[in-house]
Amino acid sequence: MNKRTTYHEQSDVTLTLKLREILKTLPPFSKDFFRAIEPTTTAKTRLSYAYDLRVFFQFLLDENPSLNNCTMKDINTGTLDKLGALDIEEYMEYLKVYRSPEDKQNTNGERGIKRKVSALRSFYAYYYKREMVGHNPTVLIDMPKIHEKNIIRLDADEVASLLDYIEHCGESLTGQQKAYYEKTKERDLAIVTLLLGTGIRVSECVGLDVEDVDFKNNGVKVTRKGGNEMVVYFGEEVEKALKNYLPVREGITPIAGHEHALFYSTQKKRIGVQAVENLVRKYSRQITTTKKITPHKLRSTYGTSLYQETGDIYLVADVLGHKDVNTTRKHYAAMDDERRRRAATAVRLREDN
């Protein structure tokens, strides 16, 4: 086997190279900011900041009369210093619907606007702290209020139906469809079972190497957000699905550089996030038409089941890899409310006459 380069190491290299290309399109002074945050952020976060800040600079060129006939390279810290809170509020309004330089229409909801303004706040804070701008207008505006959505998850019977469907749907297929199904059945069943049985993120799933699976202790070593490694343990159903898949994997001759990947695509490369999203969507829409099921919804399904069985919000937060238990509590607070509602009818004060 070739020297092992993990998915996350390769991903960091790819994202870093992509970031360098994006930085070439931004005002030259912005490189200082990205250099400063490098030790405390992931490559993915820095790339997201770069994309978000590029939208802000394009807004200035499109909407600020003082920058008529200017280019991205003409924007500097002096430009930032001339902006006030009203300009930032106009930017937030602009983010709802705007056109990219490629004339593509883009939209943002509450979360998208909040993320882009948060990136701008960090950007301004860096230059203000170093006294390169005299004020920070981003702290003078209110951030968008995020309205929480109900957790979409599969019910217990839907989980069973989904797994049964993946196992047996090939019986109704013929020809090329059946051949493709048989080729991917064990892989797909192992992936979906693993997601449902551990609650790991789809990025953590595709990043798994075969060496990360430990059947002695029934655990998988995942790299969580921020780069921390953690062992997530699994039960007998996940163990069975993985063991059924491994002989299939061993029969694949992978493309060079992908020898260590746990899950392969039909192109014999490490399977990607989008491919997992597509297979989850393909199978789940046969089970429910009213719920849009994604790998993240399978994660929510696991978190819900774990909380229902244990009632331990700290355990759920730990297993799901949430740094702040309040994040977990916020997502599963509705379940506490349902339990409290049952208390209203659990105690009878008088028997019916």
Nearest 10 degrees: Cα torsion 61, 67, 68, 72: -50
Question: Which residues have C-beta within 8 Å of that of residue 25, sequence separation ≥ 6?
Answer: 54, 72
Model confidence pLDDT, tens digit, residues 86-128: 999 999 999 999 988 778 899 999 999 999 999 999 999 999 9
- The span from the CA of 205 to the CA of 217, in Å, is 18
Sequence ranges of the domains in the chain: 7-140, 156-339
Model confidence pLDDT, tens digit, residues 126-137: 999 999 999 999
Q: Which residues of 31-68 are buried (b: 16+ CB within 10 A; e: fewer)?
A: eebbeeeeeebbbebbbbbbebbbbbbbbbbeebeebe
- The span from the CA of 293 to the CA of 252, in Å, is 29
Task: Copy the structure tokens of residue 87.
Answer: 């300009």
Q: What pLDDT shows up at residue 1? A: 47
Domains 7-140 and 156-339 share a fold: no
Nearest to 57 by CA among 38, 33, 40, 36: 33
Q: What pLDDT shows up at residue 348? A: 62
Each as own residue / partner, the long-range contacts of residues 288-292 (CB below 8 Å, 24 or more positions apart, any chain) are 288/154, 288/158, 291/152, 291/154, 292/152
Q: Which fold has domain 7-140?
A: DNA polymerase; domain 1 (1.10.150)
Q: What pLDDT shows up at residue 345? A: 61
Residues of the chain predicted below pLDDT 70:
1-3, 333-353
Using an 8 Å Cβ cutoff, are 106 and 100 in contact?
Answer: yes
Tell me which architecture the domain covering 156-339 has in CATH: Orthogonal Bundle (1.10)
Q: What pLDDT shows up at residue 336? A: 59
Q: What pLDDT shows up at residue 352? A: 63
